[in-house]
């Protein structure tokens, strides 16, 4: 970790904060605001404190993946170069001469370095040890991020587990709630390998060993969130990128092996017959997740380096560190995705779609219906199965990351025949689905022109007046992309009835619109970045998309309730506590940047 701190310093990508800053909200809020800047830096808090208890802690590092530059430094190589190497392995070329054969043999011999190496003896992570009752989770500078969080959560923990027979290892990254000095929540989503191992131990009636590493080489963290096929240990990818094996040492109280250079290690066992209510927690979707039962780890030891640094990240509304981690993941895993969809040219997951909510893909189209076939392939492979909304274009489309031109391209081809509405698994954190883990999906095929008819476009004020004459609950209106065949008309709606009923009434004015999007009172129509974030979060395609035979489409992105047949509790969004931010501004820790606060709706 110190190596990468020095590297960030050398490239002016680190800000050191020596003033006392509270682990309760303050460090998280400062980090949350910093990572949204165009020139964001990693933050090293050298004097973290808990004002309530008066305790002081080891330094805390946040936002280490807080920019494209920092992410590249951590990898030590361009992610596209890693992707090219994977692609070459998947499609090896036959050596043409002895020299090429020798080079290829040498390369294959070097591949032995991808496998993890188990060291004898103890590692740097075990220089200081606390066992049994001496182990105290409250001695760690674990952050509370949001005011309504159920407590403090470890957010950059590398969770190491193994199968019951010890043959398979897994590294995952899950949020971990502190319950008391020796009990830690395990937020295993049901689709993850950690949960699969848990079920093995439960069936056998045995406690499950778990070790959580914090810090060390930051590439461990990125590996922990990668969408590798089931059964492949994520640290093999570490060895592939580093060209050097991950060196592991055995935990002191269980059989789990962890990186020798981790800053902290928390060891213990999960009793598979016990659960604890976990949450709420403001997660990476930008919304609080509900209180639900999850397994609990009983801590048997905490070890650390002599001078450790505690690593944390902050989740909430975009953009955050996952913007940069997700960018690297997207580039590196493109070749693997092409094994499922060979005609895939490229794909992009916009940050304000929080990745699993929206994917854009460019395809070499070979036959009618090809895009819709590719959508099903995406939804059937690994973590791509969590994607809620997929937009496919052909080779003639603009660059996927040029969102303005891309949107124009799609809207000039959009029609009812573009839409594929289906259902499947979704991220367990998705709140819009009718039930946890399963819901509607939307595919948009813009590989050909499905646009229908023309509209009589009128101005916002005139259209708003006409809408209000029909429905007094239409409060505001703004039209986007009016130069395209299918402009987007966004309505702020004071919802007192089902949106479908309002849509059916407004169809009397259908000559003036083609795509209506209803949003709730919490939206600012002048902020399209956050509108995309909220709309992709708030809809379930099967329930919330309506269309007519004449080609008019409606999207209901309002909060749902029993009025809509929605029986779950609709979550609150993650907003900073204004008093905390004001205190940070007064002490010179955070800049008072109202433009940034408004752009990313820091206070809601």
Over residues 447-493, the pLDDT tens digits come to 999 999 899 999 999 999 999 999 999 999 999 999 999 999 999 99
For the domain 2-312, what is the CATH code? Answer: 2.30.110.10
Where do the structural domains in the chain lie, given as residue ranges? 2-312, 321-446, 460-564
What is the rounded CA–CA span in Å between residue 60 and residue 313?
10
pLDDT for 562? 92
Task: Give which of 211, 205, 192 is closest to 273, Cα–Cα.
Answer: 205
pLDDT for 107? 53
pLDDT digits (tens, 9 = 90+) for 242-274: 999 999 999 999 999 999 999 999 999 999 999
Q: Rounded to an integer, what is the distance from CA 24 to the centroid of its chain?
A: 23
CB contact at 8 A, 313 and 296 = no
CB contact at 8 A, 330 and 82 = no
Please say whether the dihedral angle defined by the alpha carbons of residues 381, 387, 393 and 397, taken in this order, is positive or negative. negative
pLDDT digits (tens, 9 = 90+) for 2-22: 889 999 999 999 999 999 999
Q: How far apart are the first and last CA of the chain?
A: 35
Here the tokens at position 129 are 């040890």
Tell me the DSSP string of 82-97.
HHHHHHHHHSPPPP-S
Angle, in degrees to the nearest 10, between helices 79-90 and 68-75: 50
| Statement: residue 356 has pLDDT above 90 | no
Is there a catalytic annotation at residue 80? no
SS3 label, residue 309: coil
Q: In 283-437, at which residue ranges do the beta strands (DSSP E only) sit?
A: 288-289, 292-304, 310-312, 344-348, 359-363, 389-393, 419-425
pLDDT digits (tens, 9 = 90+) for 299-311: 999 999 999 999 9
pLDDT for 94? 67
Task: Give which of 515, 511, 564, 563 is closest to 539, Cα–Cα.
Answer: 564
SS3 label, residue 102: helix
Candidates 193, 261, 263, 283; catalytic one: 283
| Statement: residue 537 has pLDDT above 90 | yes
Place of tokens 């170069």: 81
**Residue 525 φ then ψ, to 5°:** -70, -15
Place of tokens 């995309």: 532
CA atoms within 13 A on the CB side of 107: 13
Using CA atoms, how far residue 117 sits from 82, 249, 250, in Å, is 22, 9, 11
Task: Give which of 427, 418, 416, 376 is closest to 394, Cα–Cα.
Answer: 418
> What is the pLDDT confidence band of residue 102, given thresholds at 50, 70 and 90?
low
Helix or strand run (H / E) with residue 555: strand 553-557
Helix or strand run (H / E) with residue 221: helix 219-224
Q: Rounded to an integer, what is the distance from CA 578 to the centroid of its chain?
A: 25
For domain 460-564, the question of CATH label 3.40.1670.10 is answered with yes
CB contact at 8 A, 585 and 591 = yes
pTM of the model: 0.93
Pairing between β-strand 42-45 and β-strand 14-17 as defined by DSSP bridges: parallel
Mean pLDDT, to the nearest integer, of 563-576? 94
What is the rounded CA–CA span in Å between residue 270 and residue 298?
6
> What is the pLDDT confidence band of residue 111, given thresholds at 50, 70 and 90?
low
What is the rounded CA–CA span in Å between residue 325 and residue 4?
16
For the domain 321-446, what is the CATH code? Answer: 3.40.1670.10
What is the rounded CA–CA span in Å between residue 222 and residue 235?
10
Q: What is the mean pLDDT of the chain?
A: 93
Using CA atoms, how far residue 133 sits from 56, 130, 184, in Å, is 20, 8, 14
> What is the pLDDT confidence band of residue 529, given thresholds at 50, 70 and 90?
very high
Mean pLDDT, to the nearest integer, of 129-151? 97
What is the rounded CA–CA span in Å between residue 501 and residue 330?
40
321-446 shares the fold of 2-312: no
pLDDT for 382? 73
pLDDT digits (tens, 9 = 90+) for 25-77: 999 999 999 999 999 999 999 999 999 999 999 999 999 999 999 999 999 99
Lowest-confidence region among 84-98, 212-226, 424-438, 496-510 = 84-98
CB contact at 8 A, 91 and 335 = no
Task: Give which of 107, 87, 160 is closest to 339, Cα–Cα.
Answer: 87
What is the rounded CA–CA span in Å between residue 162 and residue 208?
9
> What is the pLDDT confidence band of residue 436, given thresholds at 50, 70 and 90?
confident
Using CA atoms, how far residue 291 sits from 148, 279, 288, in Å, is 11, 5, 9
């Amino acid at each position: 970790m110190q190596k990468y701190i020095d590297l960030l310093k050398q490239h002016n990508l680190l800000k050191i904060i020596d003033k006392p800053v509270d682990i309760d909200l303050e460090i998280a809020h400062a980090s949350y605001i910093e990572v949204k800047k165009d020139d964001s830096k990693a933050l090293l808090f050298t004097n973290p404190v808990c004002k309530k208890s008066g305790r002081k802690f080891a330094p805390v590092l946040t936002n280490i993946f807080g920019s494209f530059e920092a992410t590249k430094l951590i990898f030590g190589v361009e992610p596209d170069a890693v992707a090219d190497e994977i692609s070459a392995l998947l499609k090896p070329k036959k050596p043409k001469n002895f020299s090429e054969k020798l080079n290829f043999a040498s390369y294959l011999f070097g591949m032995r370095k991808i496998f993890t190496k188990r060291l004898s003896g103890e590692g740097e992570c075990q220089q200081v040890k606390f066992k049994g009752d001496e182990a105290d989770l409250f001695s760690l500078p674990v952050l509370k991020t949001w005011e309504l969080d159920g407590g403090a959560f470890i957010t950059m923990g590398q969770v190491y587990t193994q199968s019951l027979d010890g043959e398979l290892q897994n590294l995952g990254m899950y949020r971990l709630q502190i319950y008391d000095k020796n009990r830690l929540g395990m937020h295993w989503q049901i689709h993850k390998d950690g949960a699969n191992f848990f079920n093995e131990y439960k069936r056998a009636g045995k406690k499950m060993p778990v070790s959580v590493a914090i810090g060390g080489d930051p590439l461990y963290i990125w590996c922990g969130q990668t969408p590798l096929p089931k059964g492949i240990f994520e640290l093999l990818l570490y060895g592939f990128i580093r060209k050097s094996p991950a060196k592991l040492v055995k935990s002191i109280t269980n059989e789990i092996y962890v990186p020798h250079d981790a800053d902290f290690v928390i060891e213990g066992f999960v009793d598979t017959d016990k659960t604890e209510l976990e949450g709420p927690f403001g997660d990476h979707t930008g919304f609080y997740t509900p209180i639900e039962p999850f397994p609990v780890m009983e801590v048997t030891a905490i070890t650390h380096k002599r001078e450790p640094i505690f690593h944390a990240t902050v989740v909430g509304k975009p953009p955050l560190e996952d913007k940069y981690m997700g960018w690297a993941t997207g580039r590196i895993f493109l070749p693997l995705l092409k094994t499922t969809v060979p005609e895939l040219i490229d794909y992009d997951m916009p940050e304000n779609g929080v990745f699993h909510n929206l994917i854009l893909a460019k395809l070499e189209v070979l036959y009618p219906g090809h895009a819709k076939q590719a959508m099903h392939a995406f939804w059937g492979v690994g973590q791509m199965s969590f994607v809620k909304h997929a937009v496919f274009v052909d080779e003639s489309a603009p660059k996927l990351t040029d969102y303005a031109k891309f949107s124009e391209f799609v809207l000039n081809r959009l029609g009812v025949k573009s839409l594929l509405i289906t259902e499947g698994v979704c991220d367990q954190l998705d709140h819009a689905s009718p039930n946890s883990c399963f819901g509607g999906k939307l595919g948009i095929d813009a590989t050909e022109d499905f646009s229908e008819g023309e509209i009589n476009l009128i101005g916002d004020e005139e259209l708003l007046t006409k809408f209000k004459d029909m429905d007094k609950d239409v409060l505001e209106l703004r039209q986007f992309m009016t130069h395209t065949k299918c402009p987007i008309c966004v309505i702020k709606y004071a919802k007192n009835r089902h949106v479908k009923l309002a849509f059916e009434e407004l169809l009397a004015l259908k000559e003036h619109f083609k795509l209506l999007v209803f949003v709730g009172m919490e939206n600012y129509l002048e902020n399209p970045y956050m509108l995309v974030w909220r709309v992709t979060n708030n809809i379930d395609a099967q329930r919330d998309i309506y269309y007519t035979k004449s080609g008019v489409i409606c999207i209901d992105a309002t909060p749902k309730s029993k009025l809509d047949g929605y029986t779950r509790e609709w979550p609150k969004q993650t907003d900073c506590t204004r008093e905390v931010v004001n205190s940070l501004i007064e002490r010179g820790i955070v800049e008072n940047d109202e433009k940034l606060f408004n752009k990313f709706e820091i206070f809601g």
